Structure 1
Amino acid sequence: MKCFFPFKDKSKTKRGSRSAPERQSQSKSDSSAVNRATKSSGSLPSPLSIPELYEEKKHNLRVFTYEELREATNGFNRLLKIGEGGFGSVYKGTIRPPNGQGDSTVVAIKKLNTNGLQGHKQWLAEVIFLGVVNHPNLVKLLGYCSSDEERGIQRLLVYEFMPNRSLEAHLFNRALPTLTWKTRLEILLGAAEGLAYLHGGLQVQVIYRDFKSSNVLLDDEFKAKLSDFGLAREGPQGDHTHVSTAVVGTYGYAAPEYVETGHLTTQSDIWSFGVVLYEILTGRRALERNRPTSEQKLLDWVKQFPANSRRFSMIIDPRLRNQYPPVAAQKIAKLADSCLNKNAKDRPTMSQVVEILKEATQIPEPTPGNSSSSSSGSKISNRNQNRTIKRSL
């Protein structure tokens, strides 16, 4: 899927081994520090910005040489390539401990394609944001490489390795085993908790801006972790209600008000989460050009099958083979609809989404041969769901 307006790197860097994150974040940090110093002594200190927080935590990231990462991937061997995108390629690699003692670590190494559409600006954003955040449902950045050599500018990122690939792969790749209902909900809950942390767990809000199934990675136990922070932005501060920015993101996931105005808020992430909720329910992508015209856009198609209607079960991923509780499926659809509210202010917060998902995980799955056993309580559950959303809002 394409970006609306991908970044183009127009920055020029001098050759040398000094890291770009240190060079470029320093001016922002100094400026913010001066602003805080000019405030009256009786006022509360303003929260640290993301660049300032990075300055405090950057020592946690390991700075790799290009040769170290070249060796870790056997010369960026094509057989070790595990992903590719506008940014470049991702390789599976093995790094040695800094002191050379102890066991090696399997990692994922993202190598920026200097001729690609996404450039240094997004690489820098990933280093700074992932150098600051710390949550079980966010992928961990282990270090980076910023090297200006005769062969050209080299920008690489080193992450923890996620052996079960992405949610997108397991939802849409028919060669992989079908995700069970329980696993789907657990993945959703983990992703929601990661977003809730970004929206409210730091001194400043972080707007993810690129939530989609391909950015939800899965570890060896299918635990969800959000990846790819190249488009992340700090949220509005003070009296500001939004951040004004160029429109970037993946078609089919971006909130309509953001596409139309460029006004970015945490509610933009909520909309994207609602799209993925329906992907989980249906096993269909947000946009599928190979389907009939009326079914190509997922959100338009599901409108024909409201959660309260008898036709609702027709949208459920057929690979689940009725091994899911209808009440829980309706609950998830209702949650998706609230996330996809045209009025951004009427969407739930991510913390409210987390609570509703926790409730959904407690609804028991039907026993084999009795898939309709849960339907008798659907009316009561629907009323409870409506009360939950209204109370949350």
Structure 2
Amino acid sequence: MTPRRRATLRDIAAALDLSVNTVSRALAGKDAVSEETRERVRREADRLGYVPNTMARSLVLQNAMTIGLVITNPSNPFYARLISAIEARGRVHGYSLMLMVTEDSVDNERRVAEELMRWGVDGVLAVPVQHGTEHWERLGKSGTPVVLLNRDLPGLDADLVGVDYRDSARRATELLVAAGARDLYLVEEDLDISPVAERVRGFRDVLAEHGLTVGDDHLIKVPTRRREASSQPWDPIDSYAIGRDLARRVGPGSAVLAGNDYFALGLYRAFGEHGLRIPGDVAVVGHGDHPFAAYLAPPLTTVRLPAAQVGATAVDRLLELMARPGARAERDVSGSPRQILLPAEVVVRASTPEVP
């Protein structure tokens, strides 16, 4: 079957015996076209199924009206909410979204950056793999502004919009200490990324301030399955095995801060099988406030991440940079790129004891 040829402005003009320029002006709502002619053009465009050629328009105006969004894994609930917020905010300003996924692969990220350059997107929001800056630098030199999302990339002259993970871990750890915990563990993913490093810093900050010391065996890295399967960034089984070992070590006054709610889910099962009560024997706090967190038994105390706010703020910052082509972005007094870190909220539920 031969595909139907796409209707053009020239087809509409020929059908109505009008010039192509008149048809173009009528569809664009420009002046110097009567309302009667405008209505005739609209009806004929509908009859022919005319759709404006956005790519051709972009070549003429040198404006694609498209934002590139590069993320590591769309099944991560945080990134799913982030995508929705970015799409909604961009749509308000007339921008479409081109979504690219890297699965935490540097090779994929390099390929994605090259594709975005070829497509000529107006700006890029990127959750970086955090290894290598050359491809992002080339994109920036081509005139396409780049704003980092959620993860920092040292060495790249680009702004960052994300969550204040150090503060979120601080406040979650403060809650556990205030509730009486003295033997604290941090269960984190094994990726070398800035959110993990910042949560470790926040956790350690609070312990140092309260004179509590922890050994390396209290900072537990979970060997995640990210490199084996792309459908799910985490799996409770990743932390379940660790939880079974941890259940034999914890005692009165113990508490665990998990880097995400999926890790907490695996710990729940391991602790339950070992006969430990939450929070009576061990308190648990998660990160993410995923939909299941409130329905665990007991409901999970966790950190609610401001995904929608991060997305909207990042789009606004990118639009600022896009509005000043060739101009150097505003920097802080040190001359460094701007970092906009938004606070998270600790949602207290029944997996932690009440604070006296």
Could you state the TM-score of these two structures normalised by the residue count of structure 1?
0.23
Higher relative contact order (CA 8 A, sep 6+): 2
Q: Which has the larger radius of gyration?
A: 2
